[in-house]
Amino acid sequence: MSTNDNKNLSSTEKIKMASDGLRGTLKESLRDEITGAIREDDTALVKFHGMYQQDDRDRREERSAKKLEWLYSYMLRLRLPGGFMTADQYIGLHNIAGEHSTGVIKITTRQTIQLHGILKSHVKPTIKAFNTILIDSISACGDVNRNVACASHPKFSPIHEEIFSYAGKISQLGLPKTKAYYEIWLDEKPLLDKKEKEEVEKDPLYQDRYLPRKFKIGIAIPPNNDVDVFTNDLGLIAIIENGNLIGFNIAAGGGLGTTHGNAATYPRLASMLGFVRGEEQTLKAVLEVITIQRDHGNRSDRKLSRLKYTIDKMGVEAFKAELEKRCGFKLEESKPYTFTSRKDEYGWHKNHEGKWYYTVFIENGRIADEKVALKTALLEVAKTGKTNFRFTSNQGLIISDIAQKDKKAVEKILTDFGIIAHTDNAGAVRKNAIACVAFNTCSLALAEAQRYLPSLITKIEPILAKYGLENDEISMRMTGCPNGCGRPYAAEIGFIGTAYGRYNLHLGGDREGFRLNKKYKENIDEPAILKELDELFEKYSKNRQKGETFGDFAVREKLVTI
């Protein structure tokens, strides 16, 4: 176990190693009808199967007063490399969400879907239902390579599909070999012969301990950095020359999670390591970055176990040397590239083949019939069978691959249900905002995020208008805790929850994703947030240089020290 002593392993490490290939006692937990929860050790293992045990935190006090156990349920996250789904699969998703969850289809910040509020008795039927439409949740959570994100809009590159295919290849490369998922959830016959089981489930990548912590990979296609490539453990930047993909710049060590009051934890952007040429080199480099983290990552303190800490402990050059040693080839110098934005391109766009794409504004990724009949409209679009669906890393949705002859039919549905007006009328800041789930289901939340940010923006918009900034695409992101799921540290304005109704205010990120922000004010409530932003936007409107963004202004004016 190279750098880690068995005696110092965290409790989660011991659970993984004793889990019989992630099986644990999950079958027994599911059969226990006395409780809505599963056994304690199984709560760590079930993540590898794509779900978290949660409870309705809004009802904890009420249920405790009645001497009832908390209202446990499960969040299921799908594995959708690059965020792609066919129309038939989307119809299936709609129906499964309605039958087994709260009904809300939640787009994550990594291009996939989460369903919340699934009761224990519904978990297995939910997974079985997804299996019928060829979708699974393997490795969507847990200490493994998670959903692989890829630049979502084909309009940016004639070879988008070639690059997009890497998301599926890398996802396959990073799948565990255990058959536990198929046995537990899909009732496949267990491998009873020990020798056969050892052979079939032999896992050179993950062995019996998997990774020290979650591992995230993003693929960017310049000039749009919509995947926030440098916030990933491993980032690939497509390099295109003369219309051909020649390889990828590779960066490693990104990650945004921190812990309040723990100075040893910090957000970090990935460090550029170099360039890899062609598919064989690319996949080999990806694999070996993962194996270095497997062998050298911290397995005693989970707060310090992400790849960013491994790289800082080893040093970037030493990490690169180890990577080259394991790959058996030298990385080339990184190639020039340019990012000009990292936003979703709303509205209609056409690609080089003449196919049409419509990007829908979906506030904080919640597909539901709330302000507008969004969920119903998207189902009607899917029923035409004329489109695909592509989820974005900004919690958006692209209705994609529409032939010219079918555009009018899709457009009519979007118009009739008010979706085009809803998208067109949303303000610039609102369209670029991101919020994590937070309350009422996330056990780590200290403050609200997706339930609160829309109303906060409603109060911020008049302030922006007062200073003529209503069309300024300032990136604003909120999380209910410091773990960074909504990427708040990479925003021009970040709100990080500290307690209910209170947030740290961060400033100074850039629009392209090359710079993290810094804390400006600590533990402030809504009146203080609005007061601070009023003063900041007034200064910005009066003193900004031509074309200067808010984040760049904050740094130039030394409002924060980067």
Q: Which residues are catalytic?
A: 77, 146, 214, 216, 436, 442, 481, 485
- From 221, 313, 218, 321, select the one nearest 270 (Cα to Cα): 218
Instruction: Show the tokens assigned to 155.
Output: 């309009």
Q: How far apart are the first and last CA of the chain?
A: 38
- From 548, 562, 558, 523, select the one nearest 472 (Cα to Cα): 548
Instruction: Show the tokens assigned to 213.
Output: 């912590």
Look-up of token digits 């979706």: 419
**3-state DSSP call for residue 522?**
strand
Q: How far apart are CA 371 and CA 496, in angstroms?
A: 26
Q: How far is CA 432 from CA 87, 155, 214, in A?
A: 26, 19, 26
What are residue 397's DSSP bridge partners? 360, 391
- From 93, 275, 44, 284, select the one nearest 173 (Cα to Cα): 284
Apex CA 214: angle with CA 212 and CA 220, to 5°? 130
Q: How far is CA 171 from CA 48, 140, 389, 507, in A?
A: 14, 10, 19, 34
Q: How far apart are CA 187 and CA 111, in angstroms?
A: 29
Residues 6 or more apart whose CB falls under 8 angstroms from that of 489 comprise 256, 258, 267, 496, 506, 509, 516, 517
